Structure 1
Amino acid sequence: MSSEKFILLGTEIKKGKGAVLELEVAKLHTRNSLKVPVIVERGKKDGPVLLLLGGVHGDESNGVAIVRDIIRKKYHKPKKGTVICIPIFNMFGYLNLSRAFPDGRDLNRIFPGNKGGSLASQFAYKSTKEIAPLVDYVLDFHTGGSDRSNFPNIRCNFKEEREVALAKAFNAPFMMHSTYIHHSIRETIHKMGKPIILFEGGKSLSLDKDVIECGVNGALNVMKYLNMQEGDLNSSQKPILIQKSKWLRAPYSGIFEAMISNGEYVTKKTLIGRVSDPFGEFEKKIYAPFDCHIFGLNTAPNVYKGDALFHVSVNK
């Protein structure tokens, strides 16, 4: 909970006030410093501290746009508690339109970091020490990597009651059980005893209006659930729970065409896609192996045998 004195990155944020702070990443060859803007707003009353995190991977534009729109709509100004917004966490990757840090590391596979490690590891260490201890809840916004597009879904550990409660309040179309990946931000925050949920929507280097709107509304729902904002939760839909999932992979190399839309429910033996060669000599159809929801879709025009094509729910 917000204390009487809230100090972030060396700056005291008084009740009812806000600030734009900077988290230094590194010195560049030009002697300039590369810094990550941190926008913080504190309500007039005490309450939880919520971190809204975008751009952990620099090419995941939807997450950046979601946090931007939350700020643009003034939703980050809470009635109670404190909201910390970091629209672009991986500034190097964002500037380079790249998923990774300049040292080639995936920032989300190197937490909690090391003070004397690689550049990415040092940045992870700094954020873990200077920001993470002050927060109570975290919303982490992501998109599909490469050519894979994710239908809006929220991911949490179904065994963690507080995470499940946040995920239900978020109210995305799909709610997926997800364990903690080693050295990820989720694992680090979880080990600190703080609930964190992860939103997935759209694909990298692409903006999707519906995905962004879902992320913004979900974050506002969470703030209302935590009594940081006033009003009723938007619960126009009931999330579809996915306990287990798998990727259906390409049985052949060739031109890939999906025959269904992302987010659809299909029954066993439904034609969902086809792979053909560029010369018109063969065409192989892909059928649903069982009844399932499709919430991840490969959008690449050409695929190799074994490439992930459809992310689907698996009934136990």
Structure 2
Amino acid sequence: MKNEHMKYLFLPALLGGLLGGGLAWLGLTGTGNALLNLGVGLRALSLSGWTGNLAAWTVVCLVSLWPLALLLLRRKRSKRDTLLPLLSVLLLAACFLLINPALLDTVEPYLLALLWTAAGVLLTWGVLTLAGQFTRDRFLPLPLLFQAGAALLAALVGFTAVLRLWGQVAAVQAGNTGAPEAAMTTGTVLGALTLVRLLPDLLGGWLLLQGSELGRQMEGNPFAPETVELCRATAKNALWCVNLALGVYLGCNLLQLLLPGLLHLDVQLLLPLPTLLAAAGLLVLCRYMERSKAVYDDNQTII
């Protein structure tokens, strides 16, 4: 694979991991106590005087009203853009609860629910906006779609992996305060397993980048010998990725059974669905291209 294509895998995975670690550190994946501390600081700033109150309101407006600003800046609006005012309302409500936590007996669940719902609304708007490009006369280039899919998959993989690892390590340390060395060893093993288990899903992203290269070749000359050869190579890579991904999952489970002294076993009965789906899609596409090339060659002989 070309070196410039690697930025669609490792850089998004790193950014997703950093985002997941940041959310876990802020407490957005747990009780939200760290997030409430930010609200306490914002409330103290508001009560410090008129300048502090102005600064606090400025922060609230920046956090909650940027979707409305985005809506006003869009030249062509559609029905999906009605999600932007909803996003502003959710963010404003979250800021209000953050500054006034005494309004509810247990504010953390409601605050986290508002923030995660807002994240879902933002994701929905983004997906619908991207999908709306297909309804216009000008379609998005096929290689760009594959590259965007690979980057999104890598970012989600890094994000979920860090969140899962953070929760596991925290649970092991909290439940084994009397055995710090064993807890550290278990955390190290879990971290290593998390890194290894990134491979199957990243292989799915790599297959999408293979599809990007194939799509670029198809846009040029879909029936050229180079395109057919690339299809065959892509099909072989897809099967190789599926075998390797399944082997990684099985090997990680077996390795934990062989290691003594672990305080937590993270045995998973999962299939690498992104890799399997990407491989299946590319295999179907390659098979279609090979048959289309055969029909094209037959037509050329008749002519």
Bin the TM-score by the shorter chain: under 0.3
Compare CA radii of gyration and give the structure with the larger one: 2
Q: Kindly indicate which of the two structures has a greater share of residues assigned to helix.
A: 2
Select the structure with the greater relative contact order (CA < 8 A; seq sep ≥ 6). Answer: 2
Q: Kindly indicate which of the two structures has a greater share of residues assigned to strand.
A: 1
After TM superposition, the score normalised by the length of structure 1 is 0.24
